Amino acid sequence: MLNWFRKKKAIVQHPVWTDIHSHLLPGLDDGVKSFEDAEKIILRFIAAGYKKLITTPHIMSDAYRNTPEGIRTKLNELKEYLHTKNISIELEAAAEYYLDEVFIKNVEQDRELLTFGKRFLLFETNFMTEPLHLKEFIFMATTNGHQLVLAHPERYIFLQNDFTKAEDLINRGVYFQINIASLTGYYSREAQRTAFKLIDKGWVHFLGSDCHSLQHIRLLEEAQAGRYYQKALSLPLLNNTL
């Protein structure tokens, strides 16, 4: 039979094995409330093909005043709990830092920060307006050797309304981590549209679950069947380098 009658094989994209953004340490922030809840979610991660989870509690000066010591302690407690349940998955902790004065000062003074991989530092900002000192912060943090990862850029209104700002951040060396749930329209249609556009432009470096609850893991499972999730997998994502 002639070659042009042969059916093309479907391209199987490499799955994401490592999640870099979740809230699975009980009692530290607005994430899971108990080790039992964390267990249920982690089992779903394993079923979805994940081999490593880097969980990232919030750190913000006016709400969640977590410390590296406190996060490590809770991480060890969760590991011990999973061990008693014979649940095996690689588990680490970093943090999701809110860009406030305390965080900026900690970076400026080179205090201990919870990073992952090669000094990747996950941070978020307010959703409405671009922070006044964002560019200065980026310069300072990268000069100090951090690789900045902006959590869920698709959700920031100041980026949704002006994509030149997103391009500027990329040019300044900021990595983008989109939330997988954004692909389902969970946060808003505008966040979904922006996530699609970031994928189309190839401006996505990490996928993250931002998982706080079983609802979020269900959204992750839903998104995995979608076209834009598969398109994101075709990008040179950094998740599986960790």
Q: Which residues contact 14 (CB under 8 A, 6 or more apart)?
A: 233, 240
Q: How high is the pLDDT of residue 13?
A: 57
Q: Distance (Å, rounded) from C-alpha 133 to C-alpha 99?
A: 10
Residues of the chain short of pLDDT 50, as ranges, are 1-12
Q: How high is the pLDDT of residue 8?
A: 42
Following DSSP, what letter does each residue of 14-41 receive, concatenated?
A: PPP-EE--B--STTSSSS-SSHHHHHHH
Contact 124, 151 (CB under 8 A): yes
Q: Give pLDDT tens digits for 54-98.
A: 999 999 999 999 999 999 999 999 999 999 999 999 999 999 999
Q: How high is the pLDDT of residue 15?
A: 81
Q: How many CA atoms lie within 13 A of 207 on its CB side?
A: 27
* Listed residue (30, 41, 24, 121) closest to 77, CA to CA: 24
Q: Residue 238 is encoded by which pair of tokens? A: 């950094």
Q: Distance (Å, rounded) from C-alpha 94 to C-alpha 117?
A: 10
Q: How high is the pLDDT of residue 20?
A: 98
Segment (H or E) for 52:
strand 52-55
List Cα–Cα distances, 121 to 8, 105, 175, 179, in angstroms.
41, 15, 10, 16
Domains in the chain, please, with CATH? 16-241 (3.20.20.140)
